[in-house]
Structure 1
Amino acid sequence: MSEEILVNVTPMETRVAVVDNGATQDIHIERSASKGMVGNIYAGKVVRVLPGMQAAFVDIGAERTSFIHVSDIYVPGSESRSRASDAIGDFLHEGKKVIVQVTKDPLGSKGARLTTELSVSSRYLVFMPQSRHVGVSQRIDDAEERERLQQLLAQGLELEEMSGEGGYILRTAAEGVGLDEIRADLRFLKRLWAAVSRRAKAARKAELLYTDLALHLRTVRDLARPGVERILVDSRESFTALQEFCAEYMPEVSGLLEHYPGERPLFDLHGIEEELQRALSRKVELKSGGYLIIDQTEAMTTIDVNTGSYVGRRNLEETIFKTNLEAASMLARQLRVRNLGGIIIVDFIDMRDEEHRRQVHRALEKAMARDPARNKITGVSELGLIEMTRKRTRESLEQLLCEDCPVCNGRGVLKTAETVCYEIFREIMRDARAYDNDTLMVLATQGVIDRLLDEESANVADLQEFIGKTITLRVEPDNNPEHFDIVLL
């Protein structure tokens, strides 16, 4: 595997792309005016308890009140969160001060999702101050390495006199590290948590207590894994900040950093801008000639696979099989690039051969295994669909970069000129009965007026005769072809 990390920094936003053998795998965007909230720790105040939903709304000083479910409330002394069947009123009441952490950014009209099970991260460790659990990332699957890391952590805790002061998870990046690195992280986390605790005790209102690193620093901390060949940064200031950060916390990564001073924009040079535009399109072309249609809704994401212009070399079954195999690999990459999460339904082209179905399912599982976001894939349903879930913690690219169309209000379709004409006729009938005047003027867009003068001209004439009034037409410039007005003259 040959990976590169590209970091594009401007005063307005920071963008990061992970490129694997020339193909974009991940895109992260953080805007200065609206940074993500996941991982932030706040002093909050409970503003409303909802017993029927076993949840509460918490003011953390954000634009929208945030949401916490009873199952996300940590119970001191129990080594676990509360159960979904527990009563929310046993833990929270209106006006109570709580220290909470954001687990999901606000999405659409929903506020942030919170937990009282707090954690802070370093390069190799996640510290959980309320827990006593010690674990190892599931992505480290070598049993001997897992055991070695746990022994190193125990040794480090004893040497730093920190035994019994909280729980820890050894991150994927800890694979292969030694005792010195573990001890350095332990000291860093101890200082960090002491500072957060002081702020929490002093807080008298809803306020931010801790925020994670900026995107370009988080990128190096979390994504500079084995296999990354270089990290290109196009900002001299950010490059210097990364050098200082790596010198203190990640000296082994310092040699990967490179400043890109070129005149041509970094994302243009590596085709990331084009990839971003493709990631906002419904249609994704496959090299074979087939294509995917990706539709993101509030409830789920649906992906439809089509053969398109691909006709194969042997027979229809082979064409379908080859298209589905290519689609499995492509859709796994698109989920990462677009950061799509939640419930995902994939409608592969129907295959009669049972072995072909198994191979496509295995190909999808293999492609999704490289995804750092937790995911789960079911078998093929009775309708021939594959259902899957992918952990969602931040907004998708579409939610971050786009908004609903002001013309169709997010429907994605518009009424035809014919439909609008018939609505106009019905409105004229209502007004003719309700008001006693001789003339009605129709104000509508050029396309609707053209149809009233052409295809619907006979209907307009019949309607005038029926209501006994004059109907006049006038073009009203408007960006919404569905809008019209009837003016009484």
Structure 2
Amino acid sequence: MSEEILINFTPQETRVAVMAQGVVQELHIERTGSRGLVGNIYLGKVSRILPGMQSAFIEVGLERTAFLHVADIWQPRDPQAEHGREAHKPIEKILSEGQSLLVQVIKDPMGTKGARLSTQISLAGRMLVYLPQEKHIGISQRIEDAAERESLRTRLATLVPEDEPGGFIVRTMAETASDAELVNDIAYLRKLWRDIRDKARVSGAPSLLYHELQLAQRVLRDFVNPETEKIIIDSRENFLKLETFAAEYTPAVSPLLEHYTGQRPLFDLYGVEDEIEKALARRVELKSGGYLIIDQTEAMTTVDVNTGGFVGLRNFDDTIFKTNLEATQTIARQLRLRNLGGIIIVDFIDMENPVHRQAVLAEFNKALARDHTRLTVNGFTALGLVEMTRKRTRESLAHVLCEPCPTCGGRGEVKTARTVCYEILRELLREARQFDAREYRVLASPQVIDLFLDEESQSLAQLSDFIGKPVSLQAEASYAQEQYDIVLM
């Protein structure tokens, strides 16, 4: 499936859309003022150790202290230990407060949580990932052919001198790379690591030692694959910068770069702006007439599949089966578009036929195979739900572009005008028992005041008689439906 990558630049942000067959498959947005931290390397200082959680807070110079779990602390291999690795020591025996520590961000800060760290450093190049603390050669799981995996392992072993430290993971782009390209990648990554170590020696903690590449540069390094036909860039200045970067680090990508000079905005031309709006909606339409409802919460994301108006097949079982099959493709694409991570629960329409279930699960796994992010699918539960996880390293699209609604506080719904009326009546009674005012004035939204003047006028009159004081009403157009004030006159 041929791909095109669109890069839209403005001074405030960089946006990337990955297109396949004219349809947006992935969206990535990086704000100039709040770039992601994943991949950054810091010289940190241990500020607090929590033995009960086997974790530590590390000061790296960010707004919030970062978080390090004992499982993310690299420990040297011990050939005598079972499986070639030592059991984890307690964190209080590994770290001490005030200690300086080389750490790398593996998960961006999210919500109230600080960045998550690891002491196992990895540096990504075009063809390889360098692991300076290890001494082995790994192969990307996306390279599935056993013969190809062994061939790449043998090739790299001949290019890496035995006496030099560090190990490598071979990326998918290495499948078509020449020995010269691999050697260049090895040299670049080892030089980068030397520069980081040299900087660490002369820096005080906390300090930033290495900043991960900007989004547009990561596109050239990480996103391009054999199916990529062109990379279209709508800024001449940044097109020239990326040409220079590609010539030095990713020469094979240089011929794919193309400067867009049209009058119409690039994302409008390809329909990307519309897709961004759709990717923020709760409801996603299916071509058959069915639809998805996607709800993102703090703990998990739920996806509910519905037949909607689709009744086009011979019997109901076939209708359900076809809707679920179509939904697998759309769900996989929406996970990428929205960058949804963590626990994901998919509620397909109930299928009694076990053959249908297996076919839907197989199609879902096939659709998810395009995803570059690590994920696991656990199959159908006893309740007919599909449980899965998708690695979360950066904020979702909704969290980048949106904030909780100030009217409903992020609940997704507001109290009815009648509910607010009854709250006001209770509050008036409360105030009358506490304060002796001449009059009480209610300031509320027009919808609430209209209800008091019409259907709830008798309720208000009864309360006024009961407390023995007049109650006046004042509509405030700027008030949200749940907002009100009671003024003592």
Give, in whole Å, the separation in 2 of the partners of 1:150 and 1:384: 42
Q: Deviations over 1:368-396 (max 9, x none)?
A: 11111111111211211111111111111
Give, in whole Å, the separation in 2 of the partners of 1:94 and 1:399: 34
2:19 and 2:25 in contact (8 A); partners too: yes
Return the offset for 1:78.
Answer: 4.4
1:324 and 1:349 in contact (8 A); partners too: yes
Which residue identity is paired with 2:275? E
Query: Which residue of 2 is the match for residue 104 of structure 1?
Result: 107
2:77 and 2:86 in contact (8 A); partners too: no
Return the offset for 1:253.
Answer: 1.8
Give, in whole Å, the separation in 1 of the partners of 2:443 and 2:246: 65
1:73 and 1:81 in contact (8 A); partners too: no
Which residue identity is paired with 1:144? A
Give, in whole Å, the separation in 2 of the partners of 1:419 and 1:133: 65
2:284 and 2:292 in contact (8 A); partners too: yes
Is it true that 1:67 corresponds to 2:70 in the alignment?
Answer: no
Give, in whole Å, the separation in 1 of the partners of 2:439 and 2:309: 55
Return the offset for 1:479.
Answer: 4.0
Return the offset for 1:149.
Answer: 1.5
Query: Which residue of 2 is the match for residue 56 of structure 1?
Result: 56
Give, in whole Å, the separation in 1 of the partners of 2:246 and 2:437: 79
SS of 1:478's partner is coil
SS of 1:98's partner is strand
Is it true that 1:384 corresponds to 2:387 in the alignment?
Answer: no
Query: Which residue of 2 is the match for residue 340 of structure 1?
Result: 340
Is it true that 1:290 corresponds to 2:290 in the alignment?
Answer: yes
Which residue identity is paired with 2:128? L
Ranges in structure 1 where 5+ consecutive residues have no aligned partner: none
Q: Quick one: structure 1 residues 78 and 98, their matched pair in 2 at CA, closer, same or farther if it must change by over 3 Å?
A: farther
Out of 123, 127, 144, the position equivalent to 1:120 is 123
Query: Which residue of 1 is the match for residue 187 of structure 2?
Result: 187
Return the offset for 1:77.
Answer: 5.1
SS of 1:175's partner is helix
Give, in whole Å, the separation in 2 of the partners of 1:350 and 1:239: 50
Return the offset for 1:82.
Answer: 7.1
Q: Deviations over 1:71-100 (max 9, x none)?
A: 10112454988756x321111222111110
SS of 1:75's partner is coil
Q: Quick one: structure 1 residues 435 and 83, their matched pair in 2 at CA, closer, same or farther if it must change by over 3 Å?
A: farther
SS of 1:309's partner is coil
Query: Which residue of 2 is the match for residue 22 of structure 1?
Result: 22
Query: Which aligned pairs between 1:285-324 and structure 2 lie closer than 5 A?
Result: 285-324=285-324
Return the offset for 1:193.
Answer: 0.8
Give, in whole Å, the separation in 1 of the partners of 2:353 and 2:249: 53
Q: Quick one: structure 1 residues 39 and 207, their matched pair in 2 at CA, closer, same or farther if it must change by over 3 Å?
A: same
The runs of at least 4 aligned residues of structure 1 exceeding 3 Å deviation read 76-84
Which residue identity is paired with 1:372? H
Give, in whole Å, the separation in 1 of the partners of 2:97 and 2:70: 14
Q: Quick one: structure 1 residues 125 and 163, their matched pair in 2 at CA, closer, same or farther if it must change by over 3 Å?
A: farther
Is it true that 1:157 corresponds to 2:170 in the alignment?
Answer: no
1:5 and 1:231 in contact (8 A); partners too: yes
Give, in whole Å, the separation in 1 of the partners of 2:479 and 2:5: 41
Q: Deviations over 1:146-173 (max 9, x none)?
A: 2221222122112xxx634111111111
Q: Deviations over 1:417-463 (max 9, x none)?
A: 11111111111111111122231111111111111111101111111
Which residue identity is paired with 1:126? V
Give, in whole Å, the separation in 2 of the partners of 1:478 and 1:238: 44
Q: Deviations over 1:236-288 (max 9, x none)?
A: 12211222222223222221111111111111100111111100010101111
Which residue identity is paired with 2:127? Y
Query: Which residue of 1 is the match for residue 263 of structure 2?
Result: 263
Which residue identity is paired with 2:440? L
2:443 and 2:474 in contact (8 A); partners too: yes
Out of 100, 118, 134, the position equivalent to 2:137 is 134
Q: Percent identity?
A: 56
Query: Which residue of 2 is the match for residue 416 of structure 1?
Result: 416
Q: Quick one: structure 1 residues 76 and 379, their matched pair in 2 at CA, closer, same or farther if it must change by over 3 Å?
A: closer
Q: Deviations over 1:287-320 (max 9, x none)?
A: 1111101000110000011111111131222211
Give, in whole Å, the separation in 2 of the partners of 1:337 and 1:83: 39
Ranges in structure 2 where 5+ consecutive residues have no aligned partner: none
Equivalent pairs counted in the alignment come to 485
Q: Quick one: structure 1 residues 418 and 78, their matched pair in 2 at CA, closer, same or farther if it must change by over 3 Å?
A: farther
Give, in whole Å, the separation in 1 of the partners of 2:44 and 2:369: 37
Query: Which residue of 2 is the match for residue 403 of structure 1?
Result: 403
**Which region of structure 1 is more displaced relative to structure 2, 329-338 or 375-384?**
375-384
What TM-score results when the alignment is normalised by the length of structure 2?
0.96
Query: Which residue of 1 is the match for residue 6 of structure 2?
Result: 6
Query: Which residue of 2 is the match for residue 89 of structure 1?
Result: 92
Return the offset for 1:54.
Answer: 0.8
SS of 1:312's partner is coil
What TM-score results when the alignment is normalised by the length of structure 1?
0.96
1:71 and 1:81 in contact (8 A); partners too: no
1:74 and 1:82 in contact (8 A); partners too: no
Q: Deviations over 1:10-69 (max 9, x none)?
A: 111111111011111111111111110000000111111111111111111111111010
